[in-house]
Amino acid sequence: MSKEIREHWDSRTAFILAAIGSAVGLGNIWRFPYIVYKYGGGAFIIPFLVALLTAGIPLLILEFSLGHKTNKAAPGAFAFFNTKLKWIGWAAVFIGMGIVTYYTAIMSWSMIYFVKSFSLGWGTGTENFFFNNVLQLSESPSHIGYIVPVIFIGIILTWIWIYFSIIKGAKSVGKVVYITVICPWIILLILIVRGVTLPGAMNGLAYLFTPNFTALMDPEVWINAYSQVFFSISIGFGIMIAYGSFLPKKADIVNSAFIIGLADAATSLLASVAIFSALGHLALKKGADVANVVTSGPGLAFVTYPEIINLFPIGAPILGALFFAMLLTFGIDSAFSLVEAFSAAAVEKWNISRAKMNGIIGIIGIILGIIFTTQSGLYWLDIVDHYLAVYGLILIGIFECLAVGYIIKPEVIRNYANEQSDFPIGKWWDFMIKFFVPIVLIAIMIWNIWAEIANPYGGYSRSALLVGIGALVISFALGILLSINKKRTV
């Protein structure tokens, strides 16, 4: 630990907003609605809420408590209990760093769309515009092509934005999040009001909220619910450990975890109301069924939503700009939380100034991000995302639970969390951490691997997928390497 006194949030509100800022991101606005759409609407909501309560919030309590008790970022927090566990923390923050390298590319596309929206510059062929004009997509991952200059400029701008947001660690993050959390929420409310007052909106909402109980029998729905919860509340990357470590002595951990988890879920549901009501309108205009209007799931934000914006009777450019401003502001605090988790750990290890560390991270981030700005960028993004955000996160989740469940012992963490909290958690929490969550995660893992042996992910070639697997292996290898070199502190 460096000589400086550990930084702290200015207030509990700053902490809650920063954690919500990290949690709420593209995962809520873009990923959640398209997964709900894919699984037939209402069917997905029940598994999602079950996953939130049985795994999401218990792990949030675990990560906050680890950080708060030890006053350290992820590697130090694990090392506090047992130096042999340190690698889990390092692997988590390295995976997080991998994720930012492509998260900034999505931010860059959002910037391009933000600018284009003032003139509705995507025209009527929104699909063509996204793939051919913006991404200039090549035919396969191995056709790398050239760097698309605007996308590259966009990632540089995003990194500059990240750099300044975290320049003074928790102090500046605590200020920035007042804007980057509250503004997009206001925009979301505007888009909801606009959405639900469009003709046809009710059909979209009916699709969103009609439960389909037979879908509950499909394991794939449950698997996606658990992975979505993990990704959406940002657990498994060491972020919530670092954020918990910046909490002052008196902090209501259990209560905060519930507030943050529920706020994140509420945001996903509200974003879906905005999007599905607009999809209802799109279906009406096209004379199609709501179930058939979205052609490519991941294209929801960049292909389908611009198409909807074109249809807004009044103020289309402004509403378009608001939508992309919302994506950017929801996204930026998720991006910088990943960097902050790494940087907090690195500053503890190397005793180097935070500003220097963030500068180095930014430059490495830009260099590694170049691949995502090329014509094949979308493919690589999809592949790396799949291995880091799905497998990486699940693996870290499993290791975290096993470490706390069997080595650190859950009652140590539970007692600590309870001392800090107004309402206590009971023994059920130990059960979740020791058995339930790891079993669910291991089952998901096996199911995924099994399915992918038969059908390689996304139909990519096996050699392209190896790159994604490589990114995952390198994150773990670096994590292990950093933990065994020299026997010094963190």
Contact between 15 and 174 under an 8 Å Cβ cutoff? The reply is yes
* HEC per residue, the chain: CCCCCCCCCCCHHHHHHHHHHHHCCHHHHHHHHHHHHHCCHHHHHHHHHHHHHHHHHHHHHHHHHHHHHHCCCHHHHHHHHCHHHHHHHHHHHHHHHHHHHHHHHHHHHHHHHHHHHCCCCCCCCHHHHHHHHHCCCCCCCCCCCCECHHHHHHHHHHHHHHHHHCCCCHHHHHHHHHHHHHHHHHHHHHHHHHHHCCCCHHHHHHHHHCCCHHHHHCHHHHHHHHHHHHHHCCCCCCHHHHHHHCCCCCCCHHHHHHHHHHHHHHHHHHHHHHHHHHHHHHHHHHCCCHHHCCCCHHHHCCCHHHHHHHHCCCCHHHHHHHHHHHHHHHHHHHHHHHHHHHHHHHHHHHCCCHHHHHHHHHHHHHHHHHHHHECCHHHHHHHHHHHHHHHHHHHHHHHHHHHHHHHHCHHHHHHHHHHCCCCCCCCHHHHHHHHHHHHHHHHHHHHHHHHHHHCCHHHCCHHHHHHHHHHHHHHHHHHHHHHHCCCCCC
Contact between 173 and 166 under an 8 Å Cβ cutoff? The reply is yes
Query: Binding ligand PHE by CB under 6 A: which of 9, 22, 204, 390?
Result: 22
Instruction: Give the nearer residue to ligand PHE in terms of CB position, either 23 or 148.
Output: 23
Which region among 26-34, 138-146, 147-155, 207-215 touches ligand PHE (by CB under 6 A)? 26-34
- Judged by CB under 6 A, does residue 27 bind ligand PHE? yes
Residue with the CB atom nearest ligand PHE in the bound state:
27
- Judged by CB under 6 A, does residue 326 bind ligand PHE? no
Closest approach of Cβ 77 to ligand PHE, in Å? 17
Instruction: Give the nearer residue to ligand PHE in terms of CB position, either 184 or 280.
Output: 184
Query: Binding ligand PHE by CB under 6 A: which of 101, 108, 126, 234?
Result: 234
- Judged by CB under 6 A, does residue 165 bind ligand PHE? no
Closest approach of Cβ 183 to ligand PHE, in Å? 16
Pull the structure tokens for residue 451.
Answer: 């399915």
- Judged by CB under 6 A, does residue 243 bind ligand PHE? no
Q: d(Cα 258, Cα 364) in Å, to the nearest integer?
A: 35
Which region among 21-29, 170-178, 421-429, 445-453 touches ligand PHE (by CB under 6 A)? 21-29
Closest approach of Cβ 112 to ligand PHE, in Å? 19
Q: What is the DSSP letter of 427?
A: T
- Judged by CB under 6 A, does residue 237 bind ligand PHE? yes
Closest approach of Cβ 247 to ligand PHE, in Å? 19
Instruction: Give the nearer residue to ligand PHE in terms of CB position, either 25 or 47.
Output: 25
- Judged by CB under 6 A, does residue 432 bind ligand PHE? no
Which region among 7-15, 25-33, 280-288, 397-405 touches ligand PHE (by CB under 6 A)? 25-33
Instruction: Give the nearer residue to ligand PHE in terms of CB position, either 21 or 76.
Output: 21
Instruction: Give the nearer residue to ligand PHE in terms of CB position, either 244 or 280.
Output: 244
Closest approach of Cβ 17 to ligand PHE, in Å? 14
Q: d(Cα 44, Cα 48) in Å, to the nearest integer?
A: 6
Query: Binding ligand PHE by CB under 6 A: which of 48, 90, 161, 231?
Result: 231
Instruction: Give the nearer residue to ligand PHE in terms of CB position, either 264 or 430.
Output: 264
- Judged by CB under 6 A, does residue 158 bind ligand PHE? no
Of residues 332 through 371, those in contact with ligand PHE by CB under 6 A are 334, 337-338
Closest approach of Cβ 333 to ligand PHE, in Å? 9
Which region among 23-31, 51-59, 70-78, 144-152 touches ligand PHE (by CB under 6 A)? 23-31
- Judged by CB under 6 A, does residue 239 bind ligand PHE? yes
- Judged by CB under 6 A, does residue 26 bind ligand PHE? yes
Query: Binding ligand PHE by CB under 6 A: which of 65, 232, 245, 329?
Result: 232
Which region among 24-32, 151-159, 192-200, 481-489 touches ligand PHE (by CB under 6 A)? 24-32
Closest approach of Cβ 337 to ligand PHE, in Å? 5
Closest approach of Cβ 214 to ligand PHE, in Å? 28
Alpha carbon of residue 86 to chain centroid? 23
Place of tokens 């997928």: 465
> Interface residues with ligand PHE (CB under 6 A)?
22-23, 25-28, 231-232, 234, 237, 239, 334, 337-338
